[in-house]
Amino acid sequence: MSLAPVRPARRLPRRLLQLYVGLALYGASSAFLVRAGLGLDPWDVFHQGLAERTGWSIGTVSVAVGALVLLLWVPLRQRPGLGTVSNVFAVGLTMDATLAVLPDVHGAVAQAALLTAGIVLNGVATGLYIAARFGPGPRDGLMTGLHRRTGRSLRLVRTGIELTVLAAGVLLGGTAGVGTVAYALAIGPLSQLFLRVFALPEEEKAPEPARGAEPAGAAAPARAVDPVRG
């Protein structure tokens, strides 16, 4: 095996592909959940409720809410990445595009199948775009920013945010139901699985110049592994 270092430029095309394929699939998976009609994830319940009130498409509302959430990063001193900004626009646009061609489904079996496909595809999409390491989405960044500012646990902050937007979405007319519960239970394990599947391989490092003989039996220094950022 060659010990030549892997240059970041060689990995950039794959990272960009993962980012934009992941964001596109995320929007498509959200559209699947809408057409299934059995309940959306908490943020999309909120988006759908706002869409009902404003007359905008749910994808347009998603873009607008993402942009507003991104503004909340300023007082939290969060720095957006390419993936953050791309998330704001790409998910909503692909969601609307998928809804334009995906027909309504009828019957419990068809709805359950579309719901399952949407949740699994959402997990695939999450693994793809997060493993690309271009920064979190605006809503995840809000969660981590509030975690740092308040000192509360990530689990508590995330639960608080999602319960708030879910309640607001239901009051506005968004759809919550068995699909919302199924999403909440499945998305964590699925995301973890696909983060491992799509994780970028560790870079190989060139050997350092020899500094003299090592003592016999000396242990090699441990290599630090950079974790996948969420």
Give tens-digit pLDDT for 85-142: 999 999 999 999 999 999 999 999 999 999 999 999 999 999 999 999 999 899 999 9
Among residues 42, 68, 69, 44, the alpha carbon closest in space to that of 58 is found at 44
Cα-Cα-Cα-Cα dihedral sign, residues 72, 123, 224, 12: negative
pTM for this prediction: 0.82
Give pLDDT, residue 201: 83
Residue 184 burial (CB < 10 Å; 0-12/13-18/19+)? middle
Give pLDDT, residue 169: 97
Give pLDDT, residue 172: 97
Residue reference for tokens 């964001």: 23
Assigned token pair, 95: 């969601």
pLDDT at 6 over 70: no
Whole-number mean pLDDT of the chain?
A: 86
Residue reference for tokens 């919302």: 180
Give pLDDT, residue 9: 59
Which pLDDT tens digit goes with each residue over 42-83?
999 999 999 999 999 999 999 999 999 999 999 998 899 999
